[in-house]
Amino acid sequence: MEQNQKTKFVYWIDDKLYLNITNRCSNRCRFCIKNFRKGIRGFNLKLMQEPTSTQIINELKEVLNTKNWTEAVFCGFGEPTERLDLLLEITRWIKRYFGKPLLFRVNTNGQGYLLNPGRKVIKELKEAGINKVSVSLNASNEKKYADICQPQFENAYNAVVDFIKKAKNELVVEVTAVAFSDVDIKEIAETTKRLGIKFRRRKYLPTVY
């Protein structure tokens, strides 16, 4: 049972502050934690409806200056770039009112350009103050990506790789993959190496994220 039954838009792990801004995602990954959990670390992340910027800021006001946070991370039960404008707004608000050095990271499936056609997604993230993107790849080719991640877009894998290539010229980038039974970690690590990007393996445990 989750310790906190009220859905949280802002939660934390150690000295990292997390922003849960949407449950929408353009993937339906077979290993996704939201398939079997309501949240993590006692925080309920299942959104009944998407929060407004005012609701998120109100939660931020309660905790923002209570600790020396080292990082603000857009990571919940959905893809943050589904709500790109809100992501940018919240980033700017935190930078304005926290007043201390803080790393801003977006955990993403790398489909920001597909979700926001015509937008200069990487440039907009950087201009708002995002320093880093952590891109979940989970496959080494289009066929495997379609099977494991079940994207709503065709040619999604190539779009993710293109996102990574664009991002590495502007931001700190890492690629991650979940050690799920059908995910070939070695192949993905090799693909990432060829792209010149740092790779991080993430644990897959049905009861722990």
What was the pLDDT predicted at 99?
Answer: 83
Distance of CA 45 to the CA centre of its chain: 14
Q: pTM for the complete prediction?
A: 0.93
> What DSSP state is assigned to residue 76?
S
Q: Bigger pLDDT: 119 or 5?
A: 119
Distance of alpha carbon 54 from alpha carbon 40, whole angstroms: 24
Average pLDDT over residues 132-154: 96
CA-atom Rg of the chain in angstroms = 16
CA 38 vs CA 46, 115, 117, 176: distances in Å: 6, 25, 31, 22
**CA angle at residue 139 from 9 to 174, to 5 degrees?**
55
What was the pLDDT predicted at 34?
Answer: 85
Residue 185: partners with Cβ closer than 8 Å, 6 or more residues away: 177, 179, 201
What was the pLDDT predicted at 208?
Answer: 39
pLDDT tens readout for residues 167-183: 999 999 999 999 888 89
> What DSSP state is assigned to residue 196?
T
- In the structure encoding, which two tokens stand for residue 206, read together? 């049905």
Average pLDDT over residues 185-204: 92
In the chain, the amino acid numbered 107 is N
Domains of the chain in start order, with CATH, are 4-24+39-202 (3.20.20.70)
